[in-house]
Amino acid sequence: MRTVAIAILALGALALAPGCRRETKRAEPDAATAALALVEARRFDEAIARIGDGADADGLYALGLAWAGKAESAPLPTPAPGSELPASGLFKAEELTALGFMERAVASRPDHARAQLALAELLAPHALAGVAAAQRAGAKPALQPPAVPDASVERVLRSYGDAIQADPAATAAAESLVRFATAAGRLAEADSGFQELLRRRREDASLLVRYGDFLAGPRGTPEAALSQYAQALIWRADDIGIRTKIAGIHLAAAAGLVAERAYGAAEVRLKDARRFGAAEAPALAPRLRELEQRVREVRGR
């Protein structure tokens, strides 16, 4: 996963590489671009040597990616005997070096979206490890685990947010935010990430369906999911999968209404479920027939 992330970040940087601008203490005009190409080829030591000293924000970003690449094959650190070092604190030396370069890059240029995203991606696995460790221990994760550097969920969310703000058109950071926040159980932040994606990718039926699935599933708001699925149907009117999702939500609502003896309202939802294809869906049809029969019996039909 991390290998793919580094390759994607390097490729994205190559596509957006700056022109040959000259400033005091900047790397050679093409040094960062050349280093990124070396990172993509997994020639990390050559990339580090190519940048040398006096790198600008782009060069620092390239150095961070190169050291992150070196970290992939480096051994995990071993806590000292009796140490209570948390899972989130098990940073490899190469990762710490990579983080140092990324932090310098964003300090130099806060609007460096790719460096902000890379910083978040480096910290995210450690933050999730901390969440998992806290869950195993039956405790809530601390806002800032006793680790150096700060690998808290809050820090990672902030870095993803900075990356999103730094590039008003790109979607990679928002996609990563959604994945991370969902895995960390931060559903409000994941919801915000989906909304940001929808602002940037309007009329994307697949994204609308994904957001609907999130609302119906982890977010626990199936009625809100209906509007997302309905929008997706504007572009994919005959999509049986989307229609079945809508039918399933109506059917579940009908079952709840029957349990509450609200038979009139249940009948309306059953009609909606049938309208969206519940009768043709093997997973839904038996339940549909059962509920319709119960409503007919109660209402004397």
Q: Is residue 44 a contact partner of residue 70, using CB atoms and an 8 Å limit?
A: yes
Residues 59/31, Cβ–Cβ less than 8 Å: yes
- Give all strands (DSSP E) within the chain, no chain letters: none
- Say whether the peptide bond before residue 145 is cis (omega within 30 degrees of 0): no
Give the domain ranges of the chain.
Answer: 1-17+26-72+90-108, 110-131+144-190
Task: Compute the C-alpha angle 276/202/173, nearest 5°.
Answer: 115
Q: Are the C-beta atoms of residues 118 and 76 closer than 8 Å to each other?
A: no
pLDDT for res 24: 36
What pLDDT tens digit does each residue of the chain (301 aa) get? Answer: 455 455 556 555 554 454 434 343 454 447 889 999 999 999 999 999 998 875 799 999 999 999 999 999 888 777 666 555 544 457 899 999 999 999 999 999 999 999 999 999 999 999 998 888 888 877 655 544 445 688 999 999 999 999 999 999 999 999 999 999 999 999 999 999 999 999 999 889 999 999 999 999 999 999 999 999 999 999 999 999 999 999 999 999 999 999 999 999 999 999 999 999 999 999 999 999 999 999 999 977 6
pLDDT of residue 300: 72
- Answer yes or no: are the C-beta atoms of 229 and 246 closer than 8 Å: yes
Supply the pTM of this predicted model: 0.82
CA-to-CA distance for 259 and 273, rounded, in angstroms? 17
What does the pLDDT read at residue 143?
46
Distance CA 48, CA 65 (A): 9
Residue 45 contacts by C-beta under 8 Å, 6 or more apart in sequence?
Answer: 66, 70
Question: How long a stretch of residues is the chain?
Answer: 301
* Sign of torsion over alpha carbons 105, 106, 112, 115: positive
DSSP state of 116: H
